[in-house]
């Protein structure tokens, strides 16, 4: 049986899971979509009731994709179209055709996916996440997602100026941390949201932030004491953030499993806030969120659990 990881060798998470899969004796293949078309060819053939799905690296062998029984959709990169393809229309055509062929291949493969690409993409939509979480009984922050400055100003008033704002999707070349919305920012933000909607939420006063990694039914929860941080709005901005293992109440754990089931995910990294009165507030879920920093700090065997799930096929 072959396990396919769609990522790149620069990804530490991929390397960690490859190491664990190697211990289990699994055959591992790494697919970097950036290798196509320069160092990779694709063939999908159908005839006489049979099919062939092949990836070839000229001079380096080939991969029979029908032998793949599990796939980790970890961090798919962009296709590596050559700079010599300069005409914009031709580049769009090559990109579109490559995407259609590969996505069709992925949908046709008979394998366990962690996570299935189309479900992974839909699960990333924050409005959908919050709607499902609310429906399942998880507490969520008071939230307004809007491109209407008047709605934003009213939300600011209702929340008594205690508001944070964040992006729908973080892009490599356009990323910012979750921020408190200050008086000086309100006018500029009101004008900017006419061009692109913004997520506004009432700031949730908390004593801890949690990262909850779920693989199937296994839950690995870790907490950061916010009193130890300089910037308590976004844990990612604190290099000294120290995670410790945390026991979730059974009812919260069950609701998070229910959320994963409704989203169709096997793997997910969930962010929660723990309030001073003991309430767990759902913030968001990342279907391909990072876990290595949590594993390194807590000793929780997350990479091994993921490898075992992949190896089980």
Among 167-181, 225-239, 288-302, name the one with the lowest average pLDDT.
225-239
Tens-place pLDDT, residues 148-191: 988 988 998 899 888 988 888 877 666 566 777 766 566 666 67
76, pLDDT greater than 80: yes
Do residues 264 and 116 lie in contact, with contact meaning Cβ atoms separated by under 8 Å?
yes
pLDDT in tens, 8-62: 989 999 999 999 999 999 999 999 999 999 999 999 999 999 999 999 998 888 9
Query: Which residues, at least 6 apart from 222, have a Cβ–Cβ distance to it below 8 Å?
Result: 210, 211, 212, 213, 243, 244, 245, 246, 294, 297, 298, 300
Write the CA distances from 185 to 4, 158, 188, 190, 308, integer angstroms. 46, 17, 5, 8, 48
Identify which has the larger pLDDT, 194 or 200: 200
Handedness of CA 71, 76, 81, 83 (dihedral sign): negative
pLDDT tens track for 91-120: 999 999 999 999 999 999 999 999 999 999
pLDDT at 240 over 90: no
Nearest residue to 156 (alpha-carbon basis) of 135, 176, 182 = 182
Give the model's pLDDT for residue 161: 85
Question: Which tokens hold the place of 188?
Answer: 């500029």
Edge-first strand order for the sheet with 112-114 is 27-31, 2-6, 68-73, 112-114
Of residues 198 and 5, the one with the higher pLDDT is: 5
Pairing of strands 50-57, 179-180: unpaired
Q: What is the mean pLDDT of the chain?
A: 91
The answer to whether the pTM exceeds 0.75 is yes
């Amino acid at each position: 049986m072959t396990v396919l990881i769609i990522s790149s060798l620069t990804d530490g998470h991929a390397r960690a899971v490859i190491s664990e899969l190697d211990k289990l004796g699994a055959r591992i293949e790494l697919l970097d979509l950036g290798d196509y078309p320069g160092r990779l060819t694709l063939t999908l053939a159908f005839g006489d009731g049979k099919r062939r799905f092949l990836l070839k690296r000229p001079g380096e062998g080939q991969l029979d994709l029908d032998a793949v029984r599990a796939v980790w959709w970890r961090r798919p990169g962009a296709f590596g179209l050559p700079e010599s393809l300069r005409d914009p229309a031709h580049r769009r055509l090559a990109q579109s055709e490559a995407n259609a062929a590969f996505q069709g291949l992925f949908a046709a493969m008979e394998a366990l996916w962690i996570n299935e690409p189309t479900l992974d993409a839909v699960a990333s939509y924050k409005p959908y996440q919050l709607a499902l979480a609310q429906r399942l009984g998880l507490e969520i922050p008071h939230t307004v997602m809007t491109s209407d400055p008047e709605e934003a100003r009213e939300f600011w008033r209702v929340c008594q100026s205690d508001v944070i704002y964040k992006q729908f999707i973080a892009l490599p070349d356009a990323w910012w941390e979750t921020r408190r919305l200050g008086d000086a920012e309100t006018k500029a933000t009101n004008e900017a949201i006419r061009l692109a909607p913004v997520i506004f939420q009432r700031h949730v006063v908390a004593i801890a932030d949690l990262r909850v990694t779920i693989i199937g039914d296994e839950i690995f929860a870790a907490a950061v004491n916010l009193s130890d941080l300089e910037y308590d709005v976004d844990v990612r901005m604190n290099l000294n953030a120290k995670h410790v293992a945390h026991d979730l109440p059974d009812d919260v754990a069950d609701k998070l499993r229910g959320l994963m089931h409704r989203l169709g995910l096997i793997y997910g990294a969930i962010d929660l806030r723990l309030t001073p009165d003991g309430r767990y507030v759902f913030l968001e879920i990342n279907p391909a969120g990072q876990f290595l920093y949590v594993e390194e700090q807590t000793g929780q065997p997350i990479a091994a659990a993921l490898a075992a799930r992949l190896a089980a096929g």
